[in-house]
Amino acid sequence: MGGKEDFQAGCMIDTHTHEGHDHVWADDLTRNQELVLGALAHATGPLSAYEILDRLRDDGLRAPLQVYRALDKLTERGLAHRLESLNAFVCCADADCHRTGGIGFAICESCGRVEEFAEPAIRQSLRRWSKASGFVPDRMTIELRGRCADCAGAAG
């Protein structure tokens, strides 16, 4: 009871919408962070660090590290998420993530789209297990691979 309530804090951002910028979720991002987040927001699916880099060459980015550093900060703050099974990144499902507490990702093998979901029951099951076992969780990864509704419907 005394401790952390949930596994993932994520997305605790005071979301400003700021005239004059393109993608602003938080107003204290550095230039590189904004560029990277913008690239993710623009994309229709997950991007690898190197894909992000390629898209930002024209904006002055030159080295992987610039991207990785930005991604570290963004994921720390829950503005972006890493998909472990893909070695790729998505931007957080905007306003929704901090309301629902993003928890898992459903990745379509067919169209590449990623859906973020939150089933509170899952979180509870995990909490129950961790209490029973004594394991103290810190972060978690839940990723489903399969076919999204559209693709499953369209092409078997």
Partner DNA sequence: CGCTGGACGTTATAACATTACGTAGCCGAG
Partner DNA sequence: CTCGGCTACGTAATGTTATAACGTCCAGCG
Least Å distance between CB 25 and DNA?
15
Minimum CB distance to its own copies smaller for 42 or for 68: 68
Spatial distance between the Cα atoms of 16 and 71, rounded to a whole number of angstroms: 20
Cα distance between residue 155 and residue 149, in whole Å: 10
Q: How far apart are CA 65 and CA 49, in angstroms?
A: 9
User: What binding mask, one character per residue, do residues 81-100 give for its own copies by CB under 8 A, x or -?
Assistant: ---xx---------------
- Contact between 140 and its own copies per CB under 8 A: yes
Report what 134 binds from its own copies, DNA, none; CB cut-off 5-8 Å by kind: its own copies
Question: What is the closest distance, in whole angstroms, from the C-beta atom of residue 48 to its own copies in the complex?
Answer: 14
The verdict on 145 binding its own copies (CB under 8 A) reads yes
CB 67 within 8 A of CB 74: no
Residue 74: what are its φ and ψ, rounded to 5°? -65, -40
User: Phi, psi at residue 35, to the nearest 5°?
Assistant: -60, -45
- Report how far residue 41's alpha carbon sits from residue 45's, in angstroms, rounded to the nearest whole number: 9
Q: 138: Cβ–Cβ under 8 A, 6 or more apart, which residues? A: 7
For DNA, the binding residues (CB under 7 A) are 30-33, 48-51, 60-66, 68-70, 73, 87-88
Residue 49's binding partner out of its own copies, DNA, none, with CB under 5 to 8 Å set by partner kind: DNA
Residues in contact with its own copies by CB under 8 A are 7, 84-85, 104, 106, 108-109, 115, 117, 119, 121-122, 124-126, 128-130, 133-149, 152-153
